[in-house]
């Protein structure tokens, strides 16, 4: 049996069975999702993290590329009670270390008790506990990954749904899931995907009906160019955001964000709409949340479990954000109408000016 070790912050080392060789380090997190492992593993929001699946068997229905959210696996390593050969082979082909035959209930309990933590992993024929501990020693806090946006964003602009007759959307790619783009294109939008550090002049060249800030990994305060872009466009065009996008919008409008103990990751997070009283089930993947929305944003939805903000609306301007993933993939489709609401904000463009480039 191939050796495998994961060293947790504090020095505790867990042994398991190696399924894909290599060494890695990252923030140890867990997801409670029992389906959608292909989408989870290709979600850019897991960049610089080590993903633990709480569901005991991962790989029940194989690996299908059409379900991928990006063109590569993003977690630095993967832990599971049991991985099928299909998933193990896929991870090995991606160069992502993986191990199973460990008590993931214990790992999840540790994370819930101690919070998301740094870890190191070593998998291979000749690895030892010391190799995993060395990876742990070199691991950085998530907030220290100041260039994480560059790791997950497009390098050059892309256009999806070219020639569509609906709204023109500029999507700022902070680590966007592919299904966000497809959800907009399916609604006849022309989507211009720009890098996370795009400037006012880049957005002005598109002249969008809606500025959309995507999901992504890490600490929102490390996305300074995106925060500055939102600051410039407030009141000039409708603004929407998902997950990290909500946090970035809050930071730009005078609010604040905070790191959560272990975050929300799964497909069964209940969200309450404060106006209608309706509760919907949502897909989520985030370790940061809005602490204070500021005076320009109103909290319209909250998480039933911990009251964290799940939806923000602009008080003075057309702004609509959600902390969860309305596009699902994986997860329930209770909130797909968010995209209809965003595109409805496009309105009459003739009354809007484009901010000048300072």
93 is in an annotated binding site: no
DSSP assignments along 8-41, one per residue = ETTS-EEEEEEEE-EEEEEEEEEE--SS-HHHHH
Q: What interhelical angle do 224-233 and 244-252 show, nearest 10?
A: 60
Euclidean distance between CA atoms 343 and 336, whole angstroms? 12
What residues does 194 pair with on adjacent strands?
172
- Please classify residue 64 by burial: count the beta carbons closer than 10 Å to its beta carbon, then call 0-12 exposed, 13-18 middle and 19+ buried: exposed
Q: What interhelical angle do 337-344 and 178-185 show, nearest 10?
A: 60
Answer for the pair 200, 232: CB distance below 8 angstroms, yes or no.
yes
What residues does 170 pair with on adjacent strands?
192, 211
285 is in an annotated binding site: yes
233 is in an annotated binding site: no
Active-site residues: which are they? 243, 325, 327
Answer for the pair 262, 30: CB distance below 8 angstroms, yes or no.
yes
164 is in an annotated binding site: no
247 is in an annotated binding site: yes
Answer for the pair 57, 79: CB distance below 8 angstroms, yes or no.
no
350 is in an annotated binding site: no
Binding residues: 45, 216, 218, 244, 247, 285, 287-288
Binding residues for L-glutamine: 45, 216, 218, 244, 247, 285, 287-288
């Amino acid at each position: 049996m191939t050796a495998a070790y994961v060293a947790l912050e504090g020095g505790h080392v867990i042994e398991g069975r190696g399924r894909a060789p290599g060494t890695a380090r990252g923030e140890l997190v867990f997801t409670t999702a029992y389906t959608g492992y292909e989408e989870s593993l290709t979600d850019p929001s897991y960049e610089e993290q080590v993903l633990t699946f709480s569901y005991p068997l991962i790989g029940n229905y194989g690996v299908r590329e059409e379900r991928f959210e990006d063109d590569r696996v993003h977690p630095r390593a993967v832990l599971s009670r049991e991985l099928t050969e299909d998933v193990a082979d896929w991870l090995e082909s991606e160069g992502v270390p993986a191990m199973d035959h460990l008590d993931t209930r214990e790992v999840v309990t540790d994370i819930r008790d101690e919070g998301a933590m740094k870890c190191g992993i070593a998998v291979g024929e000749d690895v030892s506990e010391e190799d995993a501990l060395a990876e742990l020693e070199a691991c950085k806090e998530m907030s220290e990954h100041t260039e994480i946006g560059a790791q997950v964003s497009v390098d050059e602009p892309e256009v999806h749904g070219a020639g569509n007759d609906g709204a023109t959307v500029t999507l700022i790619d902070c680590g966007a899931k592919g299904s966000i783009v497809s959800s907009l294109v399916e609604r006849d939008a022309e989507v211009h995907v720009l890098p996370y550090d795009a400037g006012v002049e880049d957005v002005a060249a598109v002249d969008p009906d809606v500025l959309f800030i995507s999901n992504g990994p890490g600490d929102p305060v490390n996305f300074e160019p995106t925060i500055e872009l939102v600051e410039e466009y407030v009141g000039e065009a409708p603004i929407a955001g998902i997950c990290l996008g909500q946090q970035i919008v809050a930071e730009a409008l005078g609010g604040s964000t905070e790191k959560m103990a272990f975050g929300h990751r799964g497909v069964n997070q209940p969200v309450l709409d404060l106006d209608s009283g309706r509760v919907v089930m949502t897909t989520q993947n985030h370790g940061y949340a809005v602490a204070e929305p500021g005076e320009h944003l109103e909290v319209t939805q909250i998480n039933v479990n911990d009251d964290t903000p799940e939806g923000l609306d602009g008080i003075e301007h057309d702004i609509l954000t959600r902390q969860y993933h309305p596009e699902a993939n994986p997860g329930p489709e209770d909130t797909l109408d968010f995209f209809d609401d965003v595109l409805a904000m496009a309105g009459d463009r003739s009354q809007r000016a484009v901010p000048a480039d300072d």
